[in-house]
Each structure stands twice: as structure tokens, then as C-alpha cells.
Amino acid sequence: MRHRIGIVLAVIMAGALFFLGAWGYLRLLRLPAPADQLSNLPAGGGSLLSYHPVLLALAAIVGTFLLAGILMVVPRVSPLAAGLPGLLLLGWTALYLVNVRQAVDLIPLRADPFGAGFEAMLFNGILGAVGLVLILPMFVPSRWRARHADEIEDIPEFTSGVGETRVEPALTAPPTQLTPIRASRLAPIPAPPWHDVAESTAPADPGAR
């Protein structure tokens, strides 16, 4: 079940990387400005704290990589959540090394900032580096095994009331050894009161006369 959820999270991670990460990277992408052209610097070379385009782009990138970090670090999350997008990025980078035109043609929405930012990340090697980091949880054996709480089978239950279910606890202590009772310690059982009455009212034996 956790691996199925991991596949869903992998789709979400890939979408966040394509839409948020690529858009933010394109907004932050700037070529080095010559020393005599400081006007080409972001915010004209001033403070970026009041420059909203850069702040929004930075927030998009930070949110994307924060999601990737959570999927990589949390032990309960399947390694497929981060591994599948990482394999996709590595495969795209390998295709780019073999055939640049085909790798670029496969990028969707190239006319939009999302596709253009993804293309820029591909050209600059960002996708390959991110892919290498995302596949790291797939090499941790403990991430593939379910936790002990998830592997416990159903415990036998019995109903103690209407709408109330109680789990029968298992016996952990050995049974107490019984001490044998000696016959000498047993007191005689007194005769019932009707026994004396029956003897007094019984007829005498004719042969005793």
C-alpha cells in the first residue's frame, strides 16, 4: 500500500519540479553582467527583499526542493516517491547526451515558462544533478521494508459489547505450579444433620433381640 502511495507522490513531485521548480529557475536565471553594465543585475543591483519577482521565484524553488527533501528523509515514505522522478530526470539527461534534438522535442509546453525553464535546467545539467540526489533513497534497504507496525497481522478479537471490540491479551507468564495437598491435612467432612435424625428414627434390628 505504501508503494502505491509512493507512486502518487512521485507524480506530485514530478509536477512540482516541472511547474514550480522550472518556473522559478527561469525567473532566477541571469547571465553574468559585465563590470560596466550593472543595470543588468537583478533589481538593478539593489536589495532583493522588495523585489517580488525574485522572491516568488525563490519561494517556488525552495518549496519544490523542500518537498523533495521530505520525500527523501521520512522513513515511512516509499523510496518510489523520490526515486521515480529521479530516474526520469536521469533518463532525460542521458537522452540529451545522446540526441539533443530528441530530448528537447520531448519537453512539453516549451512555449510557456514551465517548459522553457525545464529546458534551461536540462541544458545546464541541473536535471542530472537533481536526479542523482533523488534516487539515493532507492539504495537504502530499510526504505523498501515496511515498518514493524505495518507488518503485524490481525490479532484475534472478540466482541465484549455492542459496538465495542476488545483485543484478547496473550499470556506471557507461565502458569503457577500447584502445591500438592497431603491427606493428613484434610479435616473429616462432618455428617449432615439429617443423618443423625435418620439413625434415631430407624427401626431396631429384630435379630438383635
Q: What is the pLDDT of residues 155-174, one digit of tens each?
A: 444 444 455 555 555 555 55
- Is residue 179, in this structure, part of any structural domain at all? no
- Is residue 97, in this structure, part of any structural domain at all? yes
Show the domain range for 114.
Answer: 2-30+46-150
pLDDT digits (tens, 9 = 90+) for 25-82: 998 887 665 555 666 666 666 777 777 888 899 999 999 999 999 999 999 999 999 9
Mean pLDDT of 148-155: 45
Cα–Cα distance, 136 to 79 (Å, whole number): 9
Buried b (16+ CB within 10 A) or exposed e, 194-206: eeeeeeeeeeeee
- Is residue 144, in this structure, part of any structural domain at all? yes
- Is residue 41, in this structure, part of any structural domain at all? no
- Is residue 158, in this structure, part of any structural domain at all? no
- Is residue 200, in this structure, part of any structural domain at all? no
Total number of domains constituting the chain: 1
DSSP output for 20-32: IIHHHHHHH--PP
Residue 138: pLDDT band (50, 70, 90) is very high
Kindly tell me if the per-residue pLDDT of 136 is higher than 80.
Answer: yes
Question: What is the model's pTM?
Answer: 0.65
- Is residue 108, in this structure, part of any structural domain at all? yes
- Is residue 83, in this structure, part of any structural domain at all? yes
In this predicted structure, what is the pLDDT of residue 203?
Answer: 56
pLDDT digits (tens, 9 = 90+) for 66-124: 999 999 999 999 999 999 999 999 999 999 999 999 999 999 998 898 999 999 999 99
Cα–Cα distance, 209 to 202 (Å, whole number): 15
